[in-house]
């Protein structure tokens, strides 16, 4: 029984440390300060990563733009949707998200 309690304490400590480590990691996109947070993300990346991030943002923007045009949405609605979609995401998460986006081959 003592062994189980020690394992629980160890697991709890590891989970808390993991949560703390993740909370102070890479900068994230902040929808309330989109331009500033985008620049903060860009300055934290290497040259290759910056290129990947810029490409990811363009790909996501293009896909959502095409979708918005098809749905008759306004530019303000498009921007609000993009900001909500990206809010709280790191560069790595945004790049991964863009890899799942399908854009017509004509635009690639």
pLDDT in tens, the chain (108 residues): 555 554 455 444 444 444 444 445 799 999 999 999 999 999 999 999 999 999 999 999 999 898 898 899 999 999 999 999 999 999 999 999 999 887 654 444
Q: Quick check: pTM over 0.75? A: no
- C-beta separation of 26 from 43 below 8 A: no
Q: What is the pLDDT of residue 2?
A: 57
**Contact by Cβ (8 Å): 38, 57:** yes
pLDDT given for residue 67 in this prediction: 87
State which H helix or E strand residue 20 sits in.
helix 2-23
Angle, to 10 degrees, between the axis of helix 47-71 and the axis of helix 91-99?
A: 50
Quote the pLDDT of residue 23.
44
């Amino acid at each position: 029984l003592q062994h189980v309690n020690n394992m629980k304490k160890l697991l709890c400590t590891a989970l808390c440390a993991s949560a703390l480590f993740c909370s102070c990691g890479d900068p994230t996109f902040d929808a309330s300060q989109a331009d500033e947070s985008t620049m903060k993300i860009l300055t934290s990346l290497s040259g290759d990563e910056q290129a990947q991030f810029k490409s990811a943002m363009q790909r996501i923007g293009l896909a959502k733009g095409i979708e918005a045009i098809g749905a008759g949405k306004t530019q303000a609605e498009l921007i609000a949707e993009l900001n909500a979609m990206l809010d709280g995401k790191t560069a790595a998460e945004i790049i991964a998200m863009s890899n799942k986006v399908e854009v017509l081959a004509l635009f690639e």
